[in-house]
Amino acid sequence: MATEITNATTLSKPNSAVTRPLKPLTRAYVTFLAGDGDYVKGVVGLMKGLRKVRSKYPLVVAVLPDVPKEHSKILADQGCIVREIEAVSLPEKYQNQFARAYYAINYSKIRIWGFVEYSKMIYLDGDVQVYDNIDDLFDLPDGHFYAVMDCLCYAYNQRCPDALQWPEAELGPPPAIYFNAGMFVLEPSLSTYRDLIRTLEITPPTPFAEQDFLNIYFRDTYHPIPPIYNLVIAMLWRHPEFVELERVKVVHYCYAGSKPWRYTGKEENMDRDDIKMLVKKWWNIYNDESLDYKNYVCSTGGGSYRACEPANLLTSPIRGWRPSLRNGPIGHLDPF
């Protein structure tokens, strides 16, 4: 039996004992972290990348309960606002319906629509890095869902007999314009949050999970933004004619072997000069101690990242509905 969605106060009001931002915030970046693996390195790199490009807005990290407290402290010490959420749990029997079984946990991204103390947020996966300021995206007109178009031959190549096929019988034709869900601009809303959960309960499973689900849900309000805001790294060899590497603001290291903190260069397509350059660029930011929160605050007098204190930033969990699904998709971290 699924529990009831709790009231708006429970969804958005943090524990009163928690250190809060020093001034009201209406905009923020947000990412998602699950488990005790090494993805925490990606989130640290992302925080330092936002700091390097002098973003005006903080980074909220939505963490599941299985994230070790040590990892949460690492993130808080880097100036992140760490927010615990509950997982969106799906039955195990659906896990063989998806391109990767581990995609399941990423449906928990839906919880960020409950962060209603923010009027607008930019979601970034933990394997994303920001190389130029993208604060301008917060000024896009309200009422739309913004993301970068994805390559359908990457996910659902209809010309390849071995490729995954869109479940047209269950869901109708695929969206005319399909986006990558590793980066998007959203407006938190309790009504949208509740409707996402209700819709998820009746949505058949699809191979690319929460990315497919969000494409279906926002198909009527989606507006594409230029690909410089989310370079899916496989575009370098699949569609080089569309890549302007010198103009790219955001790189999404979402292909097998491309995670900088795991990079060996041995996997397919990973021994390319452009890949090596982008991996080195990520490490330059990650290893730059001047971008650590404590050093940045000391050298700048606080700057835009004085908005939150690094100690005790863990908020209470969002208490939401754990859907008991007869049919439902499973989420993912990277669409490879």
The catalytic residues are: 109
> Which CB contacts under 8 angstroms, 24+ apart, belong to 62-66?
62/30, 62/31, 62/32, 62/33, 62/108, 62/109, 62/111, 62/112, 62/115, 63/32, 63/33, 63/34, 64/33, 64/34, 64/35, 64/105, 64/108, 65/317, 66/34, 66/35, 66/36
Q: Which helix (H) or strand (E) holds 274?
A: helix 273-286
Residue 224 CA to residue 41 CA, distance in Å, equals 29
Quick check: 90 and 328 in contact, CB under 8 A? Answer: yes
Residue with tokens 């990079």: 263
Residue 315 CA to residue 306 CA, distance in Å, equals 18
Residue 101 CA to residue 104 CA, distance in Å, equals 6
Amino acid occupying residue 237: W
> CA 184, 187, 191, 193 torsion: positive or negative?
positive
- The DSSP 8-state label assigned to residue 3 in this structure reads P
Record the tokens describing residue 90, joined without a space: 């799906």
